[in-house]
Structure 1
């Protein structure tokens, strides 16, 4: 970990049951994060409340957040591209980018939940093929390519947004070839050092042909003081991931082993700092994105976790705030 990186947070917009308050709480979390000096805030997409995530439409919520914030970058971590109509996604993203004055960071992935693919009429096994096809169409639209024989093009224009695309995938050479940012998170089936190797492959494959720098978004769950509710949340998460075949193996014998396997950092601040220092080296073009909520985490606890990160953890890693909201 080196100095000069950007600091972000990730909200999966979790809630035990649906209540519009979860959206208002997320708005407030972004507002507080901006006041604390965080550089970016990211939201995840979940269809049909999978994992108790209550946000199927990230760009809609981020549009509301533009009206409550002024500076903080607004990221999607991630939108499941195979389930999206690429041109409609490009139109929505272009409008949001205009509303936010160029603050959108568009993170994309292939997804993994079989139930959601069936609901959208897509084959789960074809998700990587569909991802590539949809990404090609999306890039054409964002790049102002003609979309019809008569020359129809994306309106409004999405100037610069194609240079703020991120991909969450292990196929890092493709990401580098396209000039996109890489979103990476701990893989429960691989040792921690595998993430360092993945980032090295990405950087080594980078050509810079599109004029942008290589950029990494390192996503890490961080729970300073996991309580009983947090334990139940994580155990329920593990059980569901096992039931849909994403997480292999049996239930761990103890909770600390589960946290370690998932890459969830916890414990004293000094221990968390040490664990973060063992990850991939970050540069001025990279982001450290920390998730501080599980399903049952109340807003006040999430805010307190952001304060701990801002006051104690991020500065110890070399981060410095670049500005705060007026």
Structure 2
């Protein structure tokens, strides 16, 4: 039975009017809270026309909402200084009243060969994009010592750990992984696990079975075992209250993306889950037959990248009013 319902947005904007796109994202988050969603998540895009600074957007969202949890799915740590990111996230978590759920991942930044000289001039070859970067981030958030000095210099006091320290934030850290190794690593390091509509075809070419193996491997490695938190993110588009023209666009969007779901894509052999378009009853039936979905009790359904604001309003309204209840979910009160 589904206990937590969330949604994920890229925060698309027009280069000629970026403010409107960011305002739209904030309005969608406010709508999500009013509909009873448990969480809202932001994708992270650099040098594209989606949210490049999710921490700043979450700070704004935290002041326009009071209950809904706010997450990132995910912040690529290859673009970040782990200590500085820990400071920013702790600050926003305190301002939100303890509602921030940071999701992160590692690996070289996208378009690395083109961006490395701008991002790390002179030090690109020395940067470490392994799990060690996550370990630095975890240590900073958890309040471990990050410097050998603590004390006073004149009238100024210095701490040896990240300030402010947000108690509880460490328990809300997520790792976004698409491989068996990343699932096991996240579990062994006590993180929560975000599994999305993209996985690596390592063991088979059956998306559901691959995702299921990741969930089980994560929990097998996690100190909390079967109680360890996993959130599944699929592209889900309910059409209960959609107009005929919206339904036609939604189906065309999904059909255009369907060919990539049939075989592994690229050198990394990435597998993509099909987008689910239909009435809430139809989608619920498909999800309940999904082997990975049956293993989890919380989701962050992804909103399609290129739809209009009114489309997102319709989709979220149907998710909260029809799809969620069909899966056993109850909207949060207040």
Per the TM alignment, residue 71 of structure 1 is displaced from its structure 2 partner at its CA by 0.2
Written as runs of structure 1 = structure 2, the 5 A alignment for 1:97-112 is 97-110=93-106
What's the TM-score once normalised by structure 2's chain length?
A: 0.80
Distance (Å, rounded) in 2 between the aligned partners of 1:112 and 1:178: 21
Larger Rg: 2
SS in 2 for 1:8: strand
Residue equivalent to 2:11: 13
Report the Cα offset of residue 197 of structure 1.
Answer: 2.1
1:109-161 deviation per Cα after TM superposition (whole angstroms, max 9, x unaligned): 1257631564134999999x524222121122112222222132111112111
Whole-angstrom CA distance in 2 between matches of 1:274 and 1:116: 41
For 1:18 and 1:73, the matched residues in 2 are separated by: 31
Cα 1:60–1:116 change in 2 (3 A) is farther
Q: Hey, which bits of structure 1, 4+ residues long, moved more than 4 A? A: 122-127, 232-239, 244-249
How far, CA to CA, are the matches of 2:258 and 2:87 in structure 1? 34
Shift of 1:275: 1.5
**RMSD, aligned α-carbons:** 3.2
5+ long unaligned stretches in structure 1: 250-259
* Equivalent residues of 1:114, 1:124 under 8 A apart: no
Unaligned runs of 5+ in 2: 151-159, 240-246
Give the TM-score normalised by the residue count of structure 1.
0.81
Using the TM superposition, give the Cα deviation of residue 168 of structure 1 relative to its aligned residue in structure 2, in angstroms: 1.1
- 2:250 and 2:108 map into 1 onto residues whose CA distance is 26
1:195-230 superposed Cα distances (whole Å, 9 cap, x missing partner): 122212222222239xx9400010011123553487
1:253 is matched with none
SS in 2 for 1:293: coil
Cα distance in 1, alignment partners of residues 108 and 325 from structure 2? 35
Note the C-alpha offset of 1:261: 5.0
- Using CA pairs under 8 Å that are at least 6 residues apart, name the structure with larger relative contact order, 1 or 2: 1
CA contact (8 A) 1:230 1:294 kept: no
Residue 268 of structure 1 is matched in structure 2 by 279
Residue 227 (structure 1) aligned with residue 235 (structure 2)? no
Aligned residue for 2:196?
A: 185
Matched residues, number: 300
